[in-house]
Structure 1
């Protein structure tokens, strides 16, 4: 089943979801955890194909799990709210509509004050390249894309209803540190982690509301290994001759595979053929589950 696509932000694993989930499609999964959820692409694809009994959608940036809880539990009402915000940008309902810069900026200002999840969805759908950006105070500061109007409310409604159908009644939503979100994971579960990439998770970088200390991530993977919890990690990669991040410590015993994510948007703009290869790391406990017994 095709997975619904609700949150259209740059960096989503939607295009790679099938490749990632093919690795775990033949094992029994009690709970699939996604503690850096964002667009929740892996959760949505897994749920659309009934790969787990339960799902946990979590993120440190509170509007993300709050948005998903609204989408899953109250899809019609959430779609109505999005449609209201979207329609307010239309300055002229008779002629070809203009799309108000002022409206976007007002929504952005309101969101930074109130942290409303539906306003956040509108900002993502309407901002430049669907590329979220934050300032040093953690405030959304990306500009509107003047060439388009953002995802049409009818499309949003369809996708919200589809997401609700596959996730309602079997999903938990948690706002907080990734270590707290996966604290109860067991050997019968799967944890998929897609944290801020190495090389793009610095104080000067503005694409994430929070940065991540790699030492914390390594310590948590060590703990998951000790507990025998299977996990997958998307964390670095290459684009042409440019590499992002350093190798993770060998003592973690991770198996690294490369997934072709296609041409990067930046390469296309520059007229180059550079392809992005994203690294996916498999934990020892996961490798043991998917390796056939001789």
Structure 2
């Protein structure tokens, strides 16, 4: 089986669930739109399966979008830059990382951002109150080796080059720009909605505004898949979505929680998936009825 290329181990990425999520998609759609694209794991997987020939990748984090542009349209230049940065950490990797982080916060250079993402703790993006990237380096590793990074960059570029629109807009602008026939995959920050002060993101989204946006999509007959809330052990995340949205709820077992393992706990992560009424009408599938207990709905 050919592996799907991926840029970095980006926290919150649905890379490991992408193949299973795509089972709920039509076999072919004119355009797949990701308003919260991250590292575009879903679009890469969909391109690999040839489910769509056009993609709209959007993320409010503009250096991340600029990085994706380099990945797609200037893969060799980016891979060369990464190899150079990676090799410079040989003698004092910690000081080198902090130096690159300082340069990135001053310049917002996406080439520097790639090195930080590959080397930071758990691939987790963190920002301070001034909007500066402040995640620490992982002391146990030195980041993806250059030859592996080059292979992945080239793989993503081959799949998406010439097929993408890339923007760094507010998600609501993207939702207003979609058309009937598009399929949206929505993966808002932190399994649903986080506050605007959450250090993991440059900006959160407000719950009531998000619900209104989903209602508007339903009114327009736009098909969408939403990764929203979930559960780790006995802890649940995300405010419940209104029943009035008419979304079909599915739960996916994502495996053992790495965060809980670090804390000495054996907990399984369960993530929720919601299918819009328009999608269910276009692409009927046999799904168990929604229940209050996600474990009873797990399909895998």
CA distance in 1, matches of 2:263, 2:113: 30
In the superposition, the TM-score normalised over structure 1's length comes to 0.93
CA distance in 2, matches of 1:146, 1:103: 12
- Of 201, 223, 237, the match for 1:244: 237
CA offset digits 1:37-73 (Å, max 9, x no partner): 1121101100111111200111001011111111011
1:285 paired with 2:285, answer: no
1:81 paired with 2:81, answer: yes
Q: How many residues align?
A: 285
1:7 paired with 2:8, answer: yes
Equivalent residues of 1:78, 1:118 under 8 A apart: yes
Instruction: Return 212-221 or 201-210, whichever deviates more.
Output: 201-210
Equivalent residues of 1:131, 1:142 under 8 A apart: yes
Question: C-alpha root-mean-square deviation of aligned residues, in Å?
Answer: 1.6
CA distance in 1, matches of 2:108, 2:156: 22
TM-superposed CA distance for 1:85, in Å, is 1.4
Unaligned runs of 5+ in 2: 286-300
Q: Which residue of 2 aligns with 1:31?
A: 31
Instruction: Return 63-72 or 173-182, whichever deviates more.
Output: 173-182
Q: Which residue of 1 aligns with 2:60?
A: 60
CA distance in 2, matches of 1:204, 1:171: 31
Equivalent residue runs for 1:74-223 within 5 Å: 74-91=74-91, 99-197=92-190, 201-223=194-216
Equivalent residues of 2:231, 2:269 under 8 A apart: yes
In the superposition, the TM-score normalised over structure 2's length comes to 0.91
Runs of 4+ displaced beyond 3 Å? none
CA offset digits 1:262-283 (Å, max 9, x no partner): 0111221233321111011111
Equivalent residues of 1:198, 1:246 under 8 A apart: no
Unaligned runs of 5+ in 1: 92-98
CA offset digits 1:183-239 (Å, max 9, x no partner): 321221100011113677224431112111112211111111111110011111011
Change (3 A) 1:13 1:198: closer
Q: Which residue of 1 aligns with 2:289?
A: none
